């Protein structure tokens, strides 16, 4: 049983996390939001109050914090009395925040893997480069650390575990498919920070197939998927965090991640990449100004948060598990459909931020209740998925399954 | 009769002008090259000597010059004793250099219309905004000023005049078509300064049709052309200098300019333009750096001069004149075909620079000989085209005609 939440970060996902924590503050207790820029925390708090999101009267407080400074994070944890830290800051601060939680003996979670700013796409399994090196320290101190508990990675890992446990005990493949069939009405925009978005696609695409890491390039391998609600959509094999833990926990299965991209996105990405405009290395203009092209691209693109009011349509993200059961072929697709406009009306954010921000709050609720307070470092597929789905059903991201017998809620 | 040439500018076109002046220094006398950056003049001079291009022993000398400073240009003209100025610097300095030539009483020529850095695509006719306002001053001082005497504008204006005079006296339309069917082997590059190249296509496309200025947008009007040597090629109606003088001198004809673009160029241009990366207005990065996107695009693109060694293939640029002769329909296509590799082997430049740099040297030779030393400001279609074609034939850009009776040299 733990109480009081410290949210680190004040971007689009933090906004969703804050709203959802507020809606559940009877369970979670005090809510603190910390970011380098205090005014961004204050803007989120104003938005929470505007929607009247606090379930019961309570603390909702902003803090200025440099999260790269582990000692400062420890001090803020102690000052606030937070027992649960939800880290949704830029991925460059994961390790100092994790260190602080181990030091302070409180629960940690994040939604994406740690990255160093000057390195793109390190050797697999990615978790082995940073996070898993702190497994022993977590176990020794009895610290609960849940890695990658957004939607993907996160909920899709639980979908995989559930699909295997309940439908396909002899698993042969796990395919995660992420389709955003929404429309923001702009000529072009990324759905989250363009710098992070483009970094995700400029490196090697790792997948786990036939018991080994396979390497491809982005947009090299594509196929069409016929999915509930969003219909037939083309998706491309993409490097993604959850492949790296699922391949470790289910080495007997092929593990792949597929992300949907329209031809327009691919064209813009290809032009920018081939011209050198996605480079994180500086160039010098004819006038002698040193500038990083990717940061100029970010400067001319729309702020992803600005898309929310006009965003319409739905996302479908799920995990297809295939293999055999009792010697016979078996498969199941475990998935969620979310709606951009519903997300905006509820928490003032678009659907991509919503699907990423709701799951860590569900995990926080399970830690607060002791259900997931496992006193060690885990990836989501190592936890019982059913209580997770129950909370997600209640707080906005219902889980469904589709198999040969039909399409229905996971617990129907 | 005039002697001694001052070349202003030290870019790709200036390199060609210098080589061609050197090859004809028995007629032209001393050759001086001036640019803000002395080392660029020195590099051109080294290249001339490397090719052994000087026809007779003589002066070939570099000078540092700020061409925006009209008084400095006058001083250099007097110091060098130059009687012919070939201005192939950036188009932003045309007016101060022209003023200097009027002041010093020497012949002036350029290859593109004057532009102010902060204004794109001014009202038609473009020459009326700056150059033609100095017509009276040229006439008064007896100064020969030949505007726009590159290939297009320049040679194509002479093609129009020749086509009308010799084949189609009742002219109804003049269509200039510029096709570069060469290949530089890069994923993408502009053929000259990307900043100037993209500026040319971000404004209104003016054409003269049915006795009035028509406005279109870039890539709005396209059609296929079947041309000698390069075959069938798609070209788009484009705003271009020569439309503005030809429409004034032949108001009874429709005057249009067509430039060939592959789908790949159009796609890259469209992506960059729609994202805002071709803007000449500054943006501010998340880190607070103020930067002009177009200058970053220029910084990541290949230096056009670097394309020359690998450039292969041909250009075809010509003027299609249509109308009637003796009451019967008549038409002629007057054109030149140039070869990128030949240009590189001869003067170390690619074909686009070659076609732009050879014509002003032909004009200089005609001024030196007194043939075109007309003591007033003119556009090229106001001059007798035949002596021009004779010199161009001899120095590397032969003129051909194609009509119902066949395809042959202009004087066959």
**Chain-chain contact of A283 with B275 (C-beta, under 8 angstroms):** no
pLDDT of residue A74: 98
pLDDT of residue B197: 83
pLDDT in tens, B132-150: 999 999 999 999 999 999 9
**Long-range CB contacts (within 8 A, 24+) of B388-393:** B388/B155, B388/B158, B388/B359, B388/B362, B388/B363, B389/B158, B389/B162, B391/B362, B391/B365, B391/B366, B392/B155, B392/B336, B392/B358, B392/B359, B392/B362
**Chain-chain contact of B291 with A299 (C-beta, under 8 angstroms):** yes
- Say which residue, A292 or B92, is predicted with more confidence: A292
pLDDT of residue A97: 98
Cα separation, A251 vs A254, in Å, equals 8
A87 close to A8: Cβ distance less than 8 angstroms: yes
pLDDT of residue B39: 96
Span A179-201, mean pLDDT? 89
DSSP assignment letter at A303: P
Residue A160 backbone dihedrals phi, psi, to 5 degrees: -65, -50
Cα separation, A334 vs B175, in Å, equals 63
- pLDDT higher than 70, residue A401: yes
- pLDDT higher than 90, residue A1: no
Q: Where in chain B is the domain with CATH 3.40.50.720?
A: 5-151+351-395
Nearest residue to A295 (alpha-carbon basis) of B274, B279, B287, B268? B287
Q: What is the DSSP string of B192-250?
A: S-HHHHHHHHSS-EEEEETTEEEEE-TTSSEEEEEETTTEEEEEEE---HHHHHHHHH-
B204 close to B239: Cβ distance less than 8 angstroms: yes
Nearest residue to A60 (alpha-carbon basis) of A23, A105, A93? A23
Structure confidence at residue A198 as a pLDDT band (50, 70, 90): confident
Share of chain B above pLDDT 90, in %: 90
Interface confidence, given as ipTM, is 0.81
Residue the block writes with tokens 């050879």: B358
Question: What angle, 0 to 180 degrees and rounded to 10, lies between the N-to-C axes of helices B263-275 and B194-201?
Answer: 90
Structure confidence at residue B193 as a pLDDT band (50, 70, 90): confident
DSSP β-bridge partners for residue B209: B212
Determine the distance in angstroms separating the CA of A187 from the nearest CA of chain B, rounded to an integer. 7
Q: Where in chain A is the domain with CATH 3.30.360.10?
A: 155-347+399-409
Strand A406-409 vs strand A400-403: parallel, antiparallel, or unpaired? antiparallel
Contact list in A for residue B187 (CB cut-off 8 A) is: 274-275
Domain A155-347+399-409 has CATH 3.30.360.10: yes
- Say which residue, A1 or A380, is predicted with more confidence: A380
What's the mean pLDDT when you consider all of chain A?
Answer: 95
Kind and range of the H or E run holding B6: strand B5-8
Q: What are the tokens at A301?
A: 């693109």
Q: What are the tokens at A288?
A: 């002698």
Q: Measured in whole angstroms, how far is the alpha carbon of residue B397 from the centre of its chain?
A: 14
Span B65-81, mean pLDDT? 97
Kind and range of the H or E run holding A243: helix A241-249
Structure confidence at residue A117 as a pLDDT band (50, 70, 90): confident
DSSP assignment letter at B90: -
Cα separation, B23 vs B10, in Å, equals 18
Contact list in B for residue A301 (CB cut-off 8 A) is: 275
Nearest residue to A14 (alpha-carbon basis) of A93, A106, A83? A93
**Chain-chain contact of B297 with A289 (C-beta, under 8 angstroms):** no
- pLDDT higher than 70, residue A298: yes
Cα separation, A207 vs A222, in Å, equals 13
- pLDDT higher than 80, residue A344: yes
Contact list in A for residue B288 (CB cut-off 8 A) is: none
B411 close to B400: Cβ distance less than 8 angstroms: no
Q: How are strands ordered across the β-sheet holding A145-147?
A: A60-64, A31-35, A5-8, A84-87, A107-110, A145-147, A377-379
Nearest residue to B8 (alpha-carbon basis) of B104, B127, B118, B126? B104
The strand ranges marked E within B230-351 are: 231-237, 254-260, 283-284, 290-291, 314-325, 328-339
Share of chain A above pLDDT 70, in %: 99
pLDDT of residue B378: 98
Contact list in A for residue B274 (CB cut-off 8 A) is: 187-188
Contact list in A for residue B36 (CB cut-off 8 A) is: none
A275 close to B268: Cβ distance less than 8 angstroms: yes
**Chain-chain contact of A299 with B285 (C-beta, under 8 angstroms):** yes
pLDDT of residue B37: 94
Span A380-406, mean pLDDT? 98
**Chain-chain contact of B300 with A274 (C-beta, under 8 angstroms):** no
CATH number of A5-151+353-395: 3.40.50.720
Contact list in A for residue B272 (CB cut-off 8 A) is: 271
Nearest residue to B219 (alpha-carbon basis) of B232, B230, B234? B234
**Chain-chain contact of B289 with A284 (C-beta, under 8 angstroms):** no
What's the mean pLDDT when you consider all of chain B?
Answer: 95
Helices (H) and strands (E) in chain A, counts: 14, 19
Structure confidence at residue A116 as a pLDDT band (50, 70, 90): confident
Residues of B with CB under 8 A from a CB of A: 187-188, 267-268, 271-272, 274-277, 279, 283-287, 289, 291-293, 295-301
Q: Where in chain A is the domain with CATH 3.40.50.720?
A: 5-151+353-395
Which of A83-87, A187-191, B43-47 is the least confident region? A187-191
Phi-psi region of B313 (alpha: psi -120 to 50; beta: other; left: phi over 0): left
- pLDDT higher than 80, residue A119: no
Cα separation, B362 vs B41, in Å, equals 21
pLDDT of residue B121: 62
What residues contact residue A407 under an 8 Å CB cut-off, 6+ apart?
Answer: A228, A400, A401
- pLDDT higher than 70, residue A297: yes
What Cα–Cα distance (Å) separates residue B214 from each residue in B123, B239, B247, B250? 11, 11, 12, 16
Determine the distance in angstroms separating the CA of B283 from the nearest CA of chain A, rounded to an integer. 7
Instruction: Name the CATH code of domain B155-349+399-409 (choices 3.60.20.10, 3.40.50.1220, 3.40.1190.20, 3.30.360.10).
Output: 3.30.360.10
CATH number of B5-151+351-395: 3.40.50.720
Contact list in A for residue B271 (CB cut-off 8 A) is: 267-268, 271-272
**Chain-chain contact of A267 with B267 (C-beta, under 8 angstroms):** yes
Residue the block writes with tokens 């680190």: A8
- pLDDT higher than 70, residue B120: no
* Cα-based angle A265, A271, A273 (whole degrees, multiple of 5): 95
Determine the distance in angstroms separating the CA of B140 from the nearest CA of chain A, rounded to an integer. 40
- pLDDT higher than 90, residue A84: yes
Please, what is the end-to-end C-alpha distance for chain B in angstroms? 30
**Chain-chain contact of B188 with A277 (C-beta, under 8 angstroms):** no
**Chain-chain contact of A299 with B277 (C-beta, under 8 angstroms):** no
pLDDT of residue A120: 67
Kind and range of the H or E run holding A20: helix A12-23
**Chain-chain contact of A271 with B274 (C-beta, under 8 angstroms):** no
Q: Where in chain B is the domain with CATH 3.30.360.10?
A: 155-349+399-409
HSE value, Cβ hemisphere, 13 Å, CA-based, for A382: 19
Cα separation, A135 vs A110, in Å, equals 15
Q: Which residue of A has its CA nearest to B276?
A: A300
Contact list in A for residue B264 (CB cut-off 8 A) is: none
- pLDDT higher than 80, residue A200: no
Structure confidence at residue B192 as a pLDDT band (50, 70, 90): confident
Kind and range of the H or E run holding A314: strand A314-325
DSSP β-bridge partners for residue B318: B177, B335
DSSP β-bridge partners for residue A229: none
- pLDDT higher than 70, residue A157: yes
Cα separation, B39 vs B232, in Å, equals 43
Chain pair A-B, CB pairs under 8 angstroms: 81
Q: Which residue of A has its CA nearest to B284?
A: A299
* Cα-based angle A406, A407, A409 (whole degrees, multiple of 5): 130
Structure confidence at residue A193 as a pLDDT band (50, 70, 90): confident
Q: What are the tokens at B396?
A: 């590397």
Cα separation, B359 vs B346, in Å, equals 16
Contact list in A for residue B301 (CB cut-off 8 A) is: 275
**Long-range CB contacts (within 8 A, 24+) of B345-348:** B346/B19, B346/B51, B346/B396, B347/B15, B347/B16, B347/B19, B347/B20, B347/B47, B347/B51, B347/B53, B348/B15, B348/B19, B348/B47, B348/B51, B348/B308
- pLDDT higher than 70, residue A360: yes
């Amino acid at each position: 049983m733990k109480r009081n939440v410290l949210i680190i970060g004040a971007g689009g996902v933090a906004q969703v996390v804050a709203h959802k924590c507020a809606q559940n503050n009877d369970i979670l207790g005090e809510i603190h939001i910390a970011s380098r820029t205090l005014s961004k925390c204050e803007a989120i708090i104003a938005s929470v109050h505007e929607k009247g999101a606090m379930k019961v009267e309570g603390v909702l407080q902003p803090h200025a914090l440099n999260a790269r400074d582990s000692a400062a994070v420890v001090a803020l944890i102690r000052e606030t009395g937070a027992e649960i830290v939800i880290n949704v800051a830029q991925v460059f601060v994961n390790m100092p925040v994790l260190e602080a939680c181990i030091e302070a003996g409180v629960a940690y979670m994040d939604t994406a893997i740690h990255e160093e700013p000057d390195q793109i796409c390190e050797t697999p399994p990615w978790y082995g480069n940073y996070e898993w090196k702190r497994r022993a320290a977590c176990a020794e101190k009895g610290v609960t650390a849940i890695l990658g508990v957004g939607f993907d990675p996160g909920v899709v890992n639980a979908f995989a575990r559930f699909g295997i446990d309940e439908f396909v005990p002899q698993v042969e493949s796990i395919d995660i498919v992420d389709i955003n069939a929404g429309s923001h009405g702009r000529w072009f925009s990324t759905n989250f920070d363009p710098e992070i978005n483009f970094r995700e696609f400029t490196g090697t695409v790792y997948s786990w197939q036939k018991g080994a890491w396979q390497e491809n390039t982005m947009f090299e391998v594509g196929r069409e998927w016929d999915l509930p609600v969003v219909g037939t959509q083309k998706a491309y094999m993409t490097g993604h965090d959850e492949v790296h833990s699922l391949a470790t926990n289910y080495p007997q299965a092929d593990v792949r991640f597929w992300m949907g991209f329209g031809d327009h996105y691919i064209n813009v990405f290809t032009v920018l990449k081939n011209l050198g405009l996605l480079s994180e290395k500086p160039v010098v203009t004819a006038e002698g100004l040193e500038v990083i092209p990717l940061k100029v691209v970010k400067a001319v693109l729309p702020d992803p948060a600005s898309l929310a009011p006009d965003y319409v349509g739905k996302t479908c993200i799920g995990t297809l598990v295939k293999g055999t059961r009792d010697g016979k072929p078996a498969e199941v697709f475990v998935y969620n459909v979310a709606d951009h406009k519903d997300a905006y009306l509820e928490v003032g954010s678009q659907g991509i931020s919503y699907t990423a921000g709701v799951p860590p709050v569900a995990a926080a609720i399970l830690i607060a209740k002791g259900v997931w307070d496992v006193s060690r470092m885990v990836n989501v597929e190592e936890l019982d998925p059913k209580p997770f789905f129950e909370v997600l059903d209640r707080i906005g991201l219902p889980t469904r399954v589709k198999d040969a017998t039909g399409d229905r809620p996971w617990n129907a």
